[in-house]
Amino acid sequence: MDFLALMTHLPPNHFLALPRPDHGLAVVGTPDTSTLAAHDFDVDTRTGFMPPQPPLTRLPKEWESWEALLDHALSSRLQLGDKQGVSDHDKTLSEGWRKRVRELPVLPMAGLKRSELLLRRAHHVLAWIMHFYVHSIPSSVPDIRIPPPVSVPLLQVSDQLQLPPVLTYSDDVLYNWAYKEPPAPSFPIRPPALDNLRCNTLFTGTRDEEEFYLASARIELRGVEALSLMRAMMDEAFLGDATAILRITTYLRGLARVIDELTTILAAVRDGCDPQVFYNEIRPWFRGADSEPSRKWVFEGLEFYPELQEPTELSGPSAGQSSLIHSLDIFLGVDQYSHTNFLAKNVPAAPPVATADGTAFESSTAAPTTTFSSVPGVVGIPFLTRMQSYMPRHHRAFLRHLSATPRPLRVLVESAGDAALLEAYNTAVSALKVFRDAHVRIVALYILGPSKRAGGANKGPAKGTGGTDAFKFVQGVRDQTAGALLRVPASDV
């Protein structure tokens, strides 16, 4: 039974249904936890980090030439430039398409600023075009030169959205879905069913690629209940009385069950996506520049636009960019373990985050959110924290809000001295560790194994889209999550 159903079917004498005591007005300056899923953060109470309605699928006619280029790439079934045995016909087709890209005028993007939805669609289309362009070029070409008709508007749109000019998780998952069958109108509006989703844009047009993206989309939708439980626990933590401890204990057990279901959904990707197809035919398309440092990506035309700067964040999409999973880490206090300096990279230093009392601190969620360019003062940023700079900016704000609570759950559990609460907390953390066990197995199956079969052992470690040693990275995060378990006092053993 989900959280909302649970709350509407409780007997009147159940402790979760007890009336709350009147503690008077909230102290001025106390964070309002009712905004945990508010419009300010673009987090919907029905669909979480995914939009409640299918994303925009077409830009207005002023930018139809971008849409036409993407349509042409999709219908032509462009081939990877480093694919073995590509025919002369396919090579000619790819070069003809890239020539069309180079001949396109640099379209003005000022009109896109009137709508966040237009900006999202523009980023999606331009980033997809760029990846088609980059990865259809033969691997013998030493450097990739991205022509101004793509590089300039993509950098401009990315600057408006405060995102890197590269495909992100939001382009592939959050804003890349539609209904298989439009549902009947209903009130209240219900979230899409997990089996009624399809993708709008695919590099290969295969079921394997679609199922790979949809596995993450289903996790995001099923995770909405986790966000509801987190909000309820934050509300209770502000009270902190015996009734609140009882409620939080029950909510934590419910959170563990939701995470268990997320693990099941993650493992089910194997039913629809073949590892060899993924590794050889799908994954190469969405690699970022960080995954192939031997070839530099050059964004042409910037000399005519002094406000634009050469980007430094080009890692490509990654499951590490899921705001839902980061939310679980932060809420449970696991981020101080899982978001360590493992595989750090030098990137622009993030500004300190202001707390409610006006002081400043360096938050683990304070990833760069303004400029993706070379600026004075760089620091080593952990990989998972870097991945937050690839999230929609409102979702980054959500994570900062979540991390800034003056009553962190983990601190409450440590200080409450309640054995049942401690056990429930460890159950939730253990469920998150099991989720990461499943992720380790997925990486082994989809990246490590195929890499070894392709002779990758002679070329170094199998890298993720962000340039990390993929297997060691997910192993490290999994092990660090396990380290977040709290010790049970000796007297309670």
Of 375 and 84, the structure prediction assigns the larger pLDDT to 84
pLDDT of amino acid 367: 38
Is residue 396 pLDDT above 50, yes or no? yes
Residue 337 belongs to a domain: yes
pLDDT of amino acid 453: 81
Mean pLDDT of all residues belonging to the chain:
82
**Phi and psi angles of residue 146, each rounded to the nearest 5 degrees, phi first:** -90, 120
177-181 LR contacts (CB < 8 Å, sep 24+): 177/50, 177/54, 177/55, 177/214, 177/217, 178/54, 178/55, 178/57, 179/54
Is residue 109 pLDDT above 60, yes or no? yes
Count of all residues that appear for the chain in the document: 493
Radius of gyration of the chain (CA): 23
Sign of CA dihedral 396, 401, 405, 408: negative
C-beta neighbour count of 23 within 10 angstroms? 9
Q: Are residues 154 and 189 in the same domain?
A: no
pLDDT band at 490 (very low <50, low <70, confident <90, very high): low
Is residue 347 pLDDT above 70, yes or no? no
Q: Are residues 174 and 148 in the same domain?
A: no
Q: Are residues 295 and 157 in the same domain?
A: no
Lowest mean pLDDT among 2-16, 110-124, 343-357, 371-385: 343-357
Distance CA 18, CA 180 (A): 42
Is residue 8 pLDDT above 50, yes or no? no
Q: Are residues 335 and 370 in the same domain?
A: yes
112-139 b/e (C-beta count within 10 Å ≥ 16 → b) = beeeeebbbbbbbbbbbbbbbbbbbbee
pLDDT of amino acid 140: 87
pLDDT of amino acid 426: 96
pLDDT of amino acid 351: 39
pLDDT of amino acid 23: 33
Is residue 223 pLDDT above 80, yes or no? yes
pLDDT of amino acid 39: 59
pLDDT of amino acid 482: 73
Is residue 371 pLDDT above 80, yes or no? no
pLDDT band at 435 (very low <50, low <70, confident <90, very high): very high
Q: Are residues 153 and 279 in the same domain?
A: no
Is residue 38 pLDDT above 70, yes or no? no
Torsional class of 85: left (φ above 0), alpha (ψ -120 to 50), beta (otherwise): left
Of 133, 147, 140, 174, the closest CA to residue 390 belongs to 174
176, two tokens? 């890349």
pLDDT of amino acid 230: 96
pLDDT of amino acid 293: 80
Q: Are residues 320 and 441 in the same domain?
A: yes
pLDDT of amino acid 451: 83
Lowest mean pLDDT among 239-253, 358-372, 376-390: 358-372
Last residue within a domain, chosen from 141, 161, 181: 161
- The annotation places the binding site for heme b at 439
pLDDT of amino acid 30: 36
pLDDT of amino acid 469: 59
pTM of this prediction? 0.83
The DSSP string of 337-353 is HHSSSTT-EEEEPPPPE
- The annotation places the binding site at 439
Residues 19-37 pLDDT 10s? 444 333 333 333 334 444 4
Residue 146 is part of which domain span? Answer: 54-161
pLDDT of amino acid 168: 97
pLDDT band at 13 (very low <50, low <70, confident <90, very high): low
Q: How would you classify the pairing of strands 378-381 and 345-348?
A: antiparallel
Q: Are residues 377 and 329 in the same domain?
A: yes
Residue 9 belongs to a domain: no
Which residue is listed with tokens 């409610």?
A: 356
pLDDT band at 139 (very low <50, low <70, confident <90, very high): confident
Is residue 376 pLDDT above 50, yes or no? no
Residue 475 belongs to a domain: yes
pLDDT band at 211 (very low <50, low <70, confident <90, very high): very high
Q: Give the CATH number for residue 365.
A: 1.20.58.480
Q: How many domains does the chain have?
A: 2
pLDDT of amino acid 5: 46
Residue 383 belongs to a domain: yes
Q: Are residues 169 and 150 in the same domain?
A: no
Residues 142-182 pLDDT 10s? 889 999 999 999 999 999 999 999 999 999 999 999 999 98
Relative orientation angle of helices 88-103 and 116-135, to the nearest 10 degrees: 140
Residue 192 belongs to a domain: yes
Angle at 162 between CA 397 and CA 396, to 5 degrees: 20
Residue 47 belongs to a domain: no
**Percent of the chain topping pLDDT 90:** 61
Q: Are residues 305 and 426 in the same domain?
A: yes
Is residue 378 pLDDT above 80, yes or no? no
DSSP 281: I
Of 464 and 212, the structure prediction assigns the larger pLDDT to 212
Is residue 379 pLDDT above 90, yes or no? no
Please confirm whether the linkage preceding 188 is cis (ω < 30° from 0): yes
pLDDT band at 93 (very low <50, low <70, confident <90, very high): very high
Residue 15 belongs to a domain: no
Mean pLDDT to the nearest integer, 248-270: 97
Mean pLDDT to the nearest integer, 346-352: 43
Residue 1 belongs to a domain: no
Q: Are residues 188 and 76 in the same domain?
A: no
Residues 436-488 pLDDT 10s? 999 889 988 998 888 888 765 445 556 565 555 566 667 777 777 777 788 87
Of 187, 138, 133, 192, the closest CA to residue 165 belongs to 133
Distance CA 404, CA 364 (A): 10
Q: Are residues 200 and 289 in the same domain?
A: yes
377, two tokens? 């003062």
Question: Is residue 178 a contact partner of residue 54, using CB atoms and an 8 Å limit?
Answer: yes
Residues 294-325 pLDDT 10s? 889 999 999 999 999 999 889 999 999 999 99
Q: Are residues 189 and 118 in the same domain?
A: no
Question: Is residue 374 a contact partner of residue 312, using CB atoms and an 8 Å limit?
Answer: yes
Last residue within a domain, chosen from 139, 161, 183: 161
C-beta neighbour count of 429 within 10 angstroms? 27
Last residue within a domain, chosen from 140, 161, 182: 161
